[in-house]
Amino acid sequence: MNLTKLIGDDIMSRLKYIMELKDYFGTDLKRINHALKVLSFADRIVDGENITDEKIKKIVYITAILHDIGIKKAEEKYGSSSGRYQEIEGPAIAREIMRKNNEDEGIIERVCYIIGGHHTASKNDGLDFQIIWESDLLVNIEEDELYKDREKVSNIVEKNFKTKTGKNIAGDLILS
């Protein structure tokens, strides 16, 4: 039996991009796990916000998986993992990966736009971007243990979160 028929195109596509991420980062489990956590939060927000548009969902999951793909090259080229350098280096790498996987050009351009601005609030221009923005912040709140400072997290949420689901997840992190 064809595996794609068994588990569906969406899951197969996600697995392809996760394998690309793993191949790119090799043994850097910190970066791989970060991306997978962002994907998990993004999925929760997409589901919680009842998003049914398949194009938006695909943009969100590809971007979640590849959003920090530029960090390795940024560290090699600039000696820094700064978000600014990730935004510079990430889109070209993501574009190459997506073209290799025969992705639609419209999806490629949107994913690259979000990757090229995912550390810059003023570039956030749509629901797909907002979901990535919130998902990455949620992971950073967790990884950087910001949840220990409830006031700080409340300020981050108030300033950055627009989706009801993202706000609820952040509230759960504060209370945990």
Its sign, for the CA torsion 132, 43, 168, 51, is positive
Tell whether the model's pLDDT for residue 7 goes beyond 60.
no
> What one-letter code names the amino acid at 147?
Y
Domain 3-175 has CATH 3.40.50.1820: no
Query: Is the overall model pTM greater than 0.85, yes or no?
Result: yes
Residue 1: the pLDDT is: 47
Q: What percent of the chain is helix, strand and coil (3-state, nearest 5)?
A: 80, 0, 20
Residue 150: the pLDDT is: 87
pLDDT, tens digit, 9 for 90 and up, residues 52-111: 999 999 999 999 999 999 999 999 999 999 999 999 999 999 999 999 999 999 999 999
Tell whether the model's pLDDT for residue 175 goes beyond 90.
no
Q: DSSP for 159-171?
A: HH--SHHHHHHHH
CA–CA distance, 28 with 19 (Å, rounded to integer): 13
Token couple for 99: 């073209």
pLDDT, tens digit, 9 for 90 and up, residues 8-67: 678 889 999 999 999 999 999 999 999 999 999 999 999 999 999 999 999 999 999 999
Token couple for 74: 């940024």
CA–CA distance, 88 with 166 (Å, rounded to integer): 27
